[in-house]
Amino acid sequence: MDKKIKGRILAVDLGLKRVGLAISDELHIVATALDNLIVSGKVEEDVVAFLTYIEKLKEEKGFTIGGIAIGLPMKLDGSDSPMTQHVRAFYKKLLEKTEKKVLLLDERLTSVQADRSLKEASLTRKKRAKFVDRISAVILLQSFFEKEDILCQQ
pLDDT value at 151 more than 50:
no
State the chain's mean pLDDT as an integer: 83
- Of residues 51 and 5, the one with the higher pLDDT is 51
The number of domains in the chain is 1
DSSP string, 78-106: SPBPTTHHHHHHHHHHHHHH--SEEEEEE
Could you tell me the CATH number of the domain that includes residue 66? 3.30.420.140
- What are the tens digits of pLDDT across the range 48-78? 999 999 999 999 999 999 999 999 987 778 7
Whole-model pTM over 0.85: no
Asked if the structure places residue 110 within a domain, the reply is yes
With CA atoms as reference, report the closest residue to 128 among 141, 114, 138: 114
Residue 82 near residue 74 (C-beta atoms within 8 A): no
Q: How far apart are CA 30 and CA 15, in angstroms?
A: 23
Per-residue pLDDT at 150: 42
User: Structural domain of residue 119, as residue ranges?
Assistant: 8-152
Q: Other C-beta atoms within 10 Å of 25: how many?
A: 11
| pLDDT above 50 for 1 | no
pLDDT above 90 (res 109)? no
Does residue 1 lie within any of the structural domains?
Answer: no
State the pLDDT at residue 154. 37
